[in-house]
């Protein structure tokens, strides 16, 4: 496998800087190789900044409205930390279900009210398309923090960024995605982002939770090859990235089938002995059993660093849409 720092894709001086100032972040479809490189470069600078100084005053005086129609401690805390570390402030709006916001008020009205108080809006909402609706009505930038089974672009960006930071680049990597590939929003978005790079895909799932044809077709259209298989054991020896998601018992109507396959989707010390020395295990968290706690201290276990990368990516995006990157 060819892996070099060249493939890290730092932009050359000749390229113009992608301009996110005032723009919304709604979908992974907005990004190409060039804009990803730019965001990852800024996110890397954010990492250096936090590691050296803890925080900065880049967004001093700016206010983020952090609007969560669904609870998500992890994502809302990550955005909040990102804004605070850049010297900005946050209005957290978490209990939307109890407030006037939910008493029949339309999403556009809520958004136009909140943007009158703030400089940027982050929205998590259970309905597909809600972030796009919010962005349509808002004059201030809107960042999609997950709209139901739709998009969760900052998750996909932090996943990509983790691969870049951990392995020095993306081209040439063997990437295995594992678990529930049918309903997993994160693996769909990550696959889309990876289409711009030269990677080898392996999709590891039970028969009933295979990657949707729509995604497989997109992979083929872009001249990528992929392999589908049922067991991690088949891919562990060669994978550079093992991206694990949860296989939920509730997805199976045939419980005998569940019992047959469930052990194929647990990452433990025994499995890790077959893995390469330089590879990484990723997981969007929370995990419930699919990765053994015993490997948390294995340097290849990247999922907690991946969390931290989420903060850096969100710092980069907030700075970018507010014109301060």
**Segment contacting its own copies by CB under 8 A, of 11-19, 39-47, 97-105, 164-172:** 97-105
List 19, 100, 233, 274, residue binding its own copies (CB under 8 A)? 100
Among 93, 121, 135, 156, binds its own copies (CB under 8 A): 93
Burial label, 18 (beta-carbon count in 10 A; 0-12, 13-18, 19+): middle
Least Å distance between CB 120 and its own copies?
12
Least Cβ distance, residue 13 to its own copies (angstroms): 32
Minimum CB separation from its own copies for residue 199, in Å? 26
- Closest contact distance (angstroms) between CB of 141 and its own copies is 14
Cβ–Cβ < 8 Å for 178, 145: no
**Which residue from 118, 189, 205, 245 is in contact with its own copies, where contact means CB under 8 A?**
118
Which string of x and - marks every residue 55-84 that binds its own copies (by CB under 8 A)? xx---xxxx-x-----xxxx--xx-xx--x
Rounded-to-integer distance, Cα 77 and Cα 287, Å = 18
**Shortest Å distance, C-beta 269 to its own copies:** 17
- Shortest Å distance, C-beta 287 to its own copies: 7
Instruction: Determine, following the binding rule CB under 8 A, whether residue 52 of this chain makes contact with its own copies.
Output: no
Q: What are phi and psi of 116, to 5 degrees?
A: -75, -15
Residue 286, preceding peptide bond in cis (omega within 30° of 0): yes
Is 120 within 8 Å of 318 (Cβ atoms)?
A: yes
DSSP string for 164-225: HHHHS-STT-EEEEES-TTT-HHHHHHHHHHTTS--EEEEE--GGGPPPHHHHHHHHHTT--
Helix axes 130-137, 107-115, angle to 10 degrees: 50
Where on the chain is the footprint of its own copies (CB under 8 A)?
Answer: 53-56, 60-63, 65, 71-74, 77-78, 80-81, 84-85, 89, 91-96, 98-101, 103-106, 108-110, 112-114, 116-119, 285-288, 293, 304-305, 307-308, 311
């Amino acid at each position: 496998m060819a892996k070099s720092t060249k493939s890290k894709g730092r932009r050359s001086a000749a390229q113009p800087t992608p301009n996110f100032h005032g723009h919304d972040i709604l979908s992974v479809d907005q990004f190409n190789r060039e804009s990803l490189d730019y965001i990852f470069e800024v996110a890397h600078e954010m990492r250096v900044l936090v590691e050296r100084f803890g925080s900065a005053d880049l967004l001093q005086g700016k206010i983020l409205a952090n609007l969560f129609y669904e609870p998500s401690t992890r994502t809302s805390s990550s955005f909040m930390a990102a804004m605070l570390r850049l010297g900005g402030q946050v209005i957290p709006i978490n209990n939307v279900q109890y407030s006037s916001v939910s008493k029949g008020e339309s999403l556009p009205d809520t958004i136009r009210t909140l943007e009158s108080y703030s400089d940027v809006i982050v929205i998590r909402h259970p309905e597909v398309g809600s972030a796009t609706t919010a962005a349509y009505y808002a004059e201030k930038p809107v960042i999609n923090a997950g709209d139901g089974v739709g998009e969760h672009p900052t998750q996909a960006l932090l996943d990509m960024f983790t691969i870049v930071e951990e392995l020095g680049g993306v081209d040439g990597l063997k990437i295995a995605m594992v678990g529930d590939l049918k309903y997993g929003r994160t693996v769909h978005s990550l696959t889309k982002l990876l289409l711009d790079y030269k990677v080898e895909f392996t999709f590891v799932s039970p028969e009933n939770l295979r990657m949707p044809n729509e995604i497989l077709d997109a992979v083929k259209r872009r001249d990528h090859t992929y392999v589908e298989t049922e067991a991690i054991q088949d891919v562990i020896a060669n994978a550079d990235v093992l991206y694990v998601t949860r296989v939920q018992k509730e997805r199976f109507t045939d419980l005998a089938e569940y019992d047959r396959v469930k052990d194929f989707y647990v990452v433990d010390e025994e499995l890790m002995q077959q893995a390469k020395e330089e590879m990484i295990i990723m997981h969007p968290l929370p995990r419930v059993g699919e990765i053994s706690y015993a490997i948390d201290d294995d340097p290849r276990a990247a999922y907690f660093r991946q969390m931290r990368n989420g903060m850096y990516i969100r710092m980069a995006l907030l700075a970018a849409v507010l014109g301060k990157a």
